[in-house]
Amino acid sequence: MGGKDITEKNLEAWNDVFADIVNVLLFKGRRLIKENDLEADTKDSMFKANGKIHEQERDVSKFWKNGEIRISILGLENQTVQDKDMPLRVISYDGASYKQQLLDEKTKKRYPVTTMVLYFGTDTKWVAPKHLRDCFRIPEELQPFVSDYKINVFNIAWLSSKTIDMFQSDFKIVAKYFQTVRLKKDYKGSNEEIRHVDALLKMLSALTGDKSYEEMYNNGNFIEGGVTMDGFIERFKNQGKEELIRNLNETQTGTLEHIAAWVKLPVKEVKKTADKVPVKA
């Protein structure tokens, strides 16, 4: 996903979050993977093109282990826009992981590779190709001989409330947020305690393009633990609306429309308040 990868992988790289995502989306809520079963996959795969060596890596990937035995490699890819070449990207990641197993002399037992594509779009479900064969116009004569490869895409904004309630990590807040946006409702936060405050707000900021989440965290002097999304939003509303409008406007934390939504005032009134409140030198 280009420049957003570094921020987005921050939350999902936590073992409790990664295990939670896999357990809910792949295993229907069964807690088959525990935090301690996961080990970071730190090896970046390489490929050669046009005589040059290039690096390729998933957004997040981890080994699922039983003791010292590797059961599988699990990978996550984040998408906010649909990518018609996603099957090609995924097969290149998966193929590179299999190639590493062949090259690693210490690997005696082979293990499978699974990649999950998390799609955060809210306008439509994923309609781009999910099968490798759908990426090409294959001559009829070749049809029987071209192998297929299916990717696993999960439409996060379209998850049911029942599925979202299965999440036990901070990803539950992410999923609920995108479901709320899709339904065009006012997001009021939740009373779920946030475990990884900084990582969660940075991920929301990266995925939505709304820097207000990250800025409000930076200006809020929050500590890990004991923070909820509804409490986070309420804290800023209780500062006093004029002071809040001034602070958010001075720090350019969100547009006037964002500020109006937070303080529950019309945009015109927010603009009037912002204009009359003296700006600090």
Q: Which two tokens stand for residue 274?
A: 């912002």
Q: Which two tokens stand for residue 63?
A: 């080994």
Give the angle 152-177-14 at the CA atoms, nearest 5°: 60
Query: Using DSSP, how many helices (H) and how many strands (E) does the chain show?
Result: 11, 9
Give the pLDDT confidence of 256-271 residue by residue, as tens digits: 777 777 666 777 877 8
pLDDT given at position 241: 62
Scanning the chain, the segments in alpha helix (DSSP H) are 5-12, 15-25, 86-103, 161-164, 171-182, 197-208, 212-218, 229-237, 241-250, 256-263, 267-276
Mean pLDDT to the nearest integer, 74-87: 94
Distance CA 141, CA 192 (A): 56
pLDDT given at position 214: 67
Distance CA 193, CA 177 (A): 15
Residue 226: pLDDT band (50, 70, 90) is low
Distance CA 25, CA 17 (A): 12
Q: Is pLDDT of 46 > 70?
A: no
Q: Do 38 and 64 form a contact (C-beta atoms < 8 A)?
A: yes
Q: Is pLDDT of 252 > 60?
A: yes
Of 6-20, 91-105, 111-125, 235-249, which gets the smallest average pLDDT? 235-249
Residue 81: pLDDT band (50, 70, 90) is very high
Give, to the nearest 10 degrees, the angle between helix 15-25 and helix 5-12.
Answer: 80
Distance CA 255, CA 165 (A): 31
* Residue 195 CB-half CA count within 13 A: 13
Q: Do 206 and 235 form a contact (C-beta atoms < 8 A)?
A: no
Distance CA 115, CA 57 (A): 12
Residue 69: pLDDT band (50, 70, 90) is confident
Distance CA 216, CA 200 (A): 13
State how far the alpha carbon of 199 is from the alpha carbons of 148, 196, 233, 245, 271, in Å.
37, 6, 17, 25, 31
